[in-house]
Amino acid sequence: MITDLKGKTALVTGAAAGIGEAIAKKLATCGANVVVTDYNVEGAKKVAAEIQAESGVKAIGLKMDLCDYDEVVKSTNEAISQMGKIEILVACGAANAHYAKPAYTFDPKVDFEASQKVHVWARLYPVYALHEHMKENGYGKIVVITSDAGRTPTPKEAFIGGAASMLITIGKVMGKENARYGIRHNTVCLTLIENTPAQKQVEEETGAANIFAKVRQRASFGIPQIEDVSETVTYFVSPESDKITGSVFSINGALSFPG
């Protein structure tokens, strides 16, 4: 995907590594200035430095704890102060493999709220933090990345899928509500993405290597790669998708066929 994002500034959350890093670097190659945010601030600054060296655009790295709304607001305000304007938000990161387990094993007093915090609030906090800014400017492209378990019932992902379903519905409603302000809101849903920190964490913490081996066999078009995600996100933040909002797109390698 080649598009012209010159003059635009993108804020990408969870971008010190993995999918977020790939998205930040891809948008930079298309000419966008980039705010790289992550709880790992040193990693964010490192990626920002690499972006400046490789693409020649302006890039900064900021700390952002996606589970702390006050810090998200503080970081987005700092990004606006340094960059002048934020037109693009890609919300990813923070998801935790700890919650990839049977629903009946959850502790209602602990896991219910905690799982939603990392899989829902961590995506919505930056959306809310930037809403007024985008509304005032009359333009915005928001892409929220979540799980395809929100579209296809997936064993051991009841709460992850439930969180994704919530994000999908909110995204559709926000797409409709914010169209009058020139803000587009789309959702990208992922199955297994190869060679990501999240995929490695799931294999290590759940002992799911044998399950993933079967998944790889079932993927008719192969397991999606990080680049598949960054290319899709690039389309949704590009001028070519200006007439699309409230949509839901699955990257699945033919592993799932949501309606």
pLDDT tens digits, 84-116: 999 999 999 877 778 888 999 999 999 999 999
Question: Judging by DSSP bridges, how do beta strands 140-147 and 183-190 pair with one another?
Answer: parallel
Fold of 9-251: Rossmann fold (3.40.50)
State the chain's mean pLDDT as an integer: 92
Average pLDDT over residues 60-69: 97
* pTM beyond cutoff 0.85: yes
Q: Where are the domains of the chain?
A: 9-251
SS percent in the chain: helix, strand, coil, step 5: 55, 15, 30
- Using CA atoms, how far apart are residues 131 and 154, in angstroms rounded to an integer? 32
- Using CA atoms, how far apart are residues 179 and 116, in angstroms rounded to an integer? 27
- Using CA atoms, how far apart are residues 92 and 181, in angstroms rounded to an integer? 23
pLDDT band at 209 (very low <50, low <70, confident <90, very high): low
**Lowest-pLDDT range, 50-64, 183-197, 205-219?**
205-219
Tokens 């959702």 locate to 187
- Using CA atoms, how far apart are residues 141 and 188, in angstroms rounded to an integer? 13
Tokens 């804020």 locate to 11
CB neighbours of residue 198 within 10 Å: 21
pLDDT at 99: 87
- The answer to whether residue 124 scores a pLDDT higher than 70 is yes
